[in-house]
């Protein structure tokens, strides 16, 4: 059961999300899968989220907080904030 969720706000190179959003999502999904987690969701900039054109959000689920904190950030983009949070 996944009890810890990691929130990542990330930046990509200019216009990368307009042409390669699925590849960014795949990087987050593989990163989670390879380390025992699961991708909960990955979103690019949308009206109302308060994100710039080249920003996005990714949420991953992990079995526990140490597992979430042990995983390095993805190399496809610059992660600006990525704390692990425990929830039920």
Domains recognised in the chain with CATH numbers: 4-86 (3.30.70)
Name which of 23, 26, 62, 63 is nearest 82 in CA terms. Answer: 62
pLDDT category of residue 73 using cuts at 50, 70 and 90? confident
Give the pLDDT confidence of 47-59 residue by residue, as tens digits.
777 777 888 889 9
Compute the residue count for the chain.
88
Residue 88 has a pLDDT of 47
| Highest mean pLDDT (candidates 31-40, 46-55, 67-76) | 31-40
Q: What is the DSSP letter of 37?
A: -
Cα separation, 18 vs 16, whole angstroms = 5
> Would you say residue 85 has pLDDT above 60?
no
| pTM for this entry | 0.78
The token pair that represents 22 in the structure block: 């699925």
């Amino acid at each position: 059961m996944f009890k810890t969720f990691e929130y990542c706000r990330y930046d990509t190179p200019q216009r990368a999300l307009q042409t390669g959003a699925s590849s960014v999502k795949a990087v987050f999904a593989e990163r989670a899968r390879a380390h025992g987690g699961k991708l909960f969701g990955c979103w690019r900039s949308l009206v109302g989220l308060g994100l710039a054109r080249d920003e996005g959000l990714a949420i991953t689920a992990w079995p526990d907080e140490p597992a979430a904190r042990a995983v390095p950030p993805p190399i496809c983009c610059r992660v600006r904030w990525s704390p692990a949070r425990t929830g039920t």
